[in-house]
Amino acid sequence: MKVAIVGAGAIGAYVGAALHRAGAEVHLIARGPHLAAMRRDGVRVLSPRGDFTARPPVTDDPGEVGPVDYVFLGLKANSYATSGPLVHPLLHGDTAVIAAQNGIPWWYFHGLPGPYGGRRIDSVDPGGAVSATLPPRRAIGCVVYAATEIEAPGVVRHLEGTRFSIGEPDLSVSRRCLEFSEAMRAGGLKCPVEPDLRSDIWIKLLGNISFNPISALTRATMARICRHTGTLALVESMMRETLDVAASLGCHPKISVERRIAGAERVGDHKTSTLQDLEKGKPLELDVLLAAVVELASLTGTDVPTLRVVHALADLLATTTSGEGPR
Q: Which residues are catalytic?
A: 204
Question: Can you tell me whether residue 327 is helix, strand or coil?
Answer: coil
* Distance separating alpha carbons of residues 255 and 110, to the nearest angstrom: 25
What's the one-letter identity of residue 58?
V
Are the C-beta atoms of residues 22 and 79 closer than 8 Å to each other? no
Beta strands in 75-144 (DSSP E): 96-100, 139-144
Other C-beta atoms lying within 10 Å of the C-beta of residue 113: 9
* Distance separating alpha carbons of residues 62 and 177, to the nearest angstrom: 23
Residues 6+ apart with CB under 8 A from 83: 6, 73, 75, 133, 134
DSSP string covering 225-250: HHHSHHHHHHHHHHHHHHHHHHHHTT
